[in-house]
Amino acid sequence: MRLSRRSALLLRLAVGVGLAFIYIPLIVLAIYAFNSSNVLEWPPPGLTFDWFPKAIEEERAREAFVTSLKAGVVATAIAIVLGTLASLAVARHRFFGRETISFLVILPIALPGIVTGVALNNTFTQVLGIDLSLFTVIVAHATFCIVVVYNNVIARLRRLSPSFEEASADLGAHTWQTFRHVTVPSLRSALGAGALLAFALSFDEIIVTIFTIGNGEETLPYWIFRNLFRANQLPIVNAVAVIVVLLSIIPVYFAHRLTREEGATAGARGGAGAVGGKDETAATAMP
Amino acid sequence: MEAEAAVVRRSVGRRLAGLFHGRPRLQVGALLAGPVGWLVIGYLGSLAVLLAAAFWSVDAASGELVQTFSLENFQTLLDEPVYKDIVGRTVLIAALVTVTDAILAFPIAFYMAKLASRRGKAILVVAVLLPLWSSYLVKVLSWRTMLSSGGVIDWALEPIGLSGPGYGNTAVWLVMSYLWLPYMILPIYAGLERIPNSLISASEDLGASPFTTFRRVILPLAFPAVVAGSIFTFALTLGDYITPRLVSNNQFIGNVIFNNISNNLPLASALALVPIVVMVAYLLVARKLGAFEHI
């Protein structure tokens, strides 16, 4: 697109402002993690590295971290199975109510978190009469994680010509063999991206978690939430927060690699894939 | 032994495959049983219970839950002006956040999709994704510290004789706009990517100014993507009770639901229906506008 020098400059400026808006708070937080005083004042009176060892030694935070990992892994596993099944049905079959499936899948994330939280809390405690625990957290997380797997896989299936599967069937493979040796390999990076997203979504969740977690248990976000009101804990919370931000670079790196891999194969398959490859980057990112 | 097991396993797989072969309905049923069962029974079922609970009441004397039909809660919501204020405030902030994010997101998404070099694009995608992956609570926490009195914002505004907004509605609007910005950028970016450059060139060749091209070609084609992004910004704002609690003393729908859940579940449920109704209406309009293609 041709732009005048002035509009190009204005656009660049807008991008700069947007990026500054995104990053300044994270930078400020990182600086506070090295604040030598535990009073929040700006600029910090001095810098120290003490809070990080203290953060790592914090027993409850470590336990909460492990709880978050467990919840994330199990919820992701459930979401992968359910999301893939639903996307296969919608992409490869025609049936009554097909249009409704995407609506149904998106609902748990499109409705405000508090609604999902209250509804599930209500069902667990009032209807089913089960105690809230890590199990109920996992059920809740899996419910809203299905959509990210579903979206990633269905985007891939739509671009993937069914002729590969037909060819496999023509060559004598039965349904399961075709699924195992043709469909799954071509879905691999979409599944990877969906899984990363689902895990990140679960790992970070707090709104629904508060409504579904048992007494005495806490995920890492819940630990942060409970401790950030305590003034003397705040520097440690800041240090934990910085560690969490740094850890979040790992999934971004892998997601990026997955989509790049995707771009390469799409490029090899011909021009049409190039646009799709980029599409996927965005699809990958949308929780 | 092992070979035998393999034969048995294979034959089970084969027999199952044979069962499904040529029976598309059975295939669909098997594929959908799990996900639809989970979502309909687990999720829609829970929503139904929530709906039912909205018509229950709490006995004023004993504090016991009375599971008989009554419109008491809705009467309360309509009669007490405080609830009207809260709903109004929440929806207003959600709308403001959505508009703010659309305005901030569009230039970034446009630059990423249509102007940046291949490398610049890759860097920008990561730059936008990174904060999306970092913890929600961490981001609210950093704003809480920045907005505190004597914090970074006060410090930065002091030389020009101003002070920061402090905690309150403005803070909620700022922080929510911050939190949900990537959710707006990414669908718009993907939507703009889908617009072929040849359409833009054609418009330019036909003599349209960049502004006309933007208004008549790019904006109409990208609009469904903006609506898709707005679903997230709007819904997420509507249901958040943590941000208001951390950066304001004001009550939003979420806070009232949260505060009532243990002592007045029916009232909390009735109030939870408000965002549901708002969001379902929003989603239906969004689907009409073609936004679902962009989620």
ipTM here: 0.80
> How far away is chain B from the Cα of A79, in angstroms, using its nearest Cα?
9
Q: pTM for this one?
A: 0.83
Residue in B closest to A253 by C-alpha? B126
A11 closest CA partner among B192, B226, A19: A19
Residue A133: strand, helix, or coil: coil
Q: What are the Cα distances from residue A268, in Å, to A28, A148, A153, A157?
A: 44, 27, 20, 18
In this structure, are residues B169 and B93 in contact, taking their beta carbons and an 8 Å threshold?
A: yes
B74 has a chain A CB within 8 A of its CB: no
B268 has a chain A CB within 8 A of its CB: yes
Q: What is the Cα–Cα distance from A9 to A27, expressed in whole angstroms?
A: 26
Helix intervals (H) in chain A: 5-32, 51-57, 59-92, 98-110, 113-122, 134-159, 163-170, 175-178, 184-204, 207-212, 220-227, 234-247, 249-269, 272-285
Q: What are the Cα distances from residue A111, in Å, to A23, A208, B14?
A: 28, 12, 42
Q: How many domains does chain A have?
A: 1
Q: What is the Cα–Cα distance from B268 to B57, expressed in whole angstroms?
A: 11
Q: What are the Cα distances from residue B50, in Å, to A55, A121, A138, A214?
A: 40, 10, 20, 20
Q: What is the Cα–Cα distance from A40 to B287, expressed in whole angstroms?
A: 46
Reported as a single tens digit per residue, the pLDDT across B195-234 is 998 998 999 899 888 888 889 999 999 999 999 999 889 9
Residue in A closest to B218 by C-alpha? A1
Place of tokens 């704002």: B237
pLDDT tens, position by position, for chain B (295 residues)? 555 655 556 667 677 777 777 777 888 888 888 999 999 999 999 999 988 989 988 887 887 788 888 888 899 888 989 999 999 999 999 999 999 999 999 999 999 998 888 888 888 888 887 777 778 888 998 899 899 888 888 888 888 888 888 899 999 999 999 999 988 998 999 899 989 989 989 998 998 888 888 899 999 999 999 999 998 899 889 989 999 999 999 999 999 999 988 888 889 999 999 998 998 899 889 888 888 777 6
In a domain, A158, yes or no: yes
pLDDT (0 to 100) of residue A260: 67
pLDDT (0 to 100) of residue B63: 76
To test the contact with chain A by mutation, choose from B11, B46, B110, B153 the residue with the greatest count of A C-beta atoms within 10 A, namely B46
B190 closest CA partner among B96, B77, B73, B105: B105
To test the contact with chain B by mutation, choose from A118, A135, A219, A226 the residue with the greatest count of B C-beta atoms within 10 A, namely A118
To test the contact with chain A by mutation, choose from B58, B141, B201, B265 the residue with the greatest count of A C-beta atoms within 10 A, namely B141
The two three-digit tokens of residue B244, written as one number: 């208001």
pLDDT (0 to 100) of residue B170: 95
Q: Please give the residue range of the domain that contains residue A228.
A: 35-285
CATH architecture of the domain formed by B72-294: Orthogonal Bundle (1.10)
List CB contacts (< 8 A) between B216 and chain A: none
DSSP chain B: -HHHHHHHHHHHHHHHHHHHTT-HHHHHHHHHHHHHHIIIIIIIHHHHHHHHHTT-EE-TTT--EE-S---HHHHHHHH-HHHHHHHHHHHHHHHHHHHHHHHHHHHHHHIIIIIS-HHHHHHHHHHHHHHHHS-HHHHHHHHHHHHSTTSHHHHHHGGGT-----SSHHHHHHHHHHHHHHHHHHHHHHHHHTS-HHHHHHHHHTT--HHHHIIIIIHHHHHHHHHHHHHHHHHHHHH--HHHHHH-S---HHHHHHHHTTT-HHHHHHHHHHHHHHHHHHHHHHHHTTGGGG-
Q: What is the Cα–Cα distance from A128 to A138, expressed in whole angstroms?
A: 16
Mean of the per-residue pLDDT values for chain A? 83
Q: Is A270 exposed, middle or buried (0-12, 13-18, 19+ CB in 10 A)?
A: exposed
Domain CATH code at residue A145: 1.10.3720.10
Place of tokens 């707005």: B230
Residue A146 has pLDDT above 90, yes or no: yes
Residue A241: strand, helix, or coil: helix
Enumerate the domain spans of chain B: 2-53, 72-294
A32 has a chain B CB within 8 A of its CB: yes
Q: What is the Cα–Cα distance from A221 to A248, expressed in whole angstroms?
A: 13
In a domain, A142, yes or no: yes
> How far away is chain A from the Cα of B140, in angstroms, using its nearest Cα?
9
The two three-digit tokens of residue B262, written as one number: 């243990």
Reported as a single tens digit per residue, the pLDDT across B132-146 is 777 888 899 889 989
* Closest CB to B134 among A101, A106, A248: A248
pLDDT (0 to 100) of residue A193: 86
In a domain, A72, yes or no: yes
The two three-digit tokens of residue A140, written as one number: 């809740």
List CB contacts (< 8 A) between A12 and chain B: 111
List CB contacts (< 8 A) between A204 and chain B: 133, 135-137
B243 has a chain A CB within 8 A of its CB: no
Q: What is the Cα–Cα distance from A99 to B281, expressed in whole angstroms?
A: 17
B140 closest CA partner among B253, B243, B255: B243
In a domain, A18, yes or no: no
In a domain, A56, yes or no: yes
Q: What is the Cα–Cα distance from B130 to B153, expressed in whole angstroms?
A: 23
Q: Quick one: average pLDDT of A110-114?
A: 85
What contacts B192, CB < 8 A, 6 or more positions away?
B109, B110, B112, B113, B114, B218, B222, B225
Q: What is the Cα–Cα distance from A69 to A260, expressed in whole angstroms?
A: 26
The conformation of residue A33, written as its DSSP 8-state character, comes to T
B199 has a chain A CB within 8 A of its CB: no
The neighbour count for residue A61, using CB atoms within 10 Å, is 22
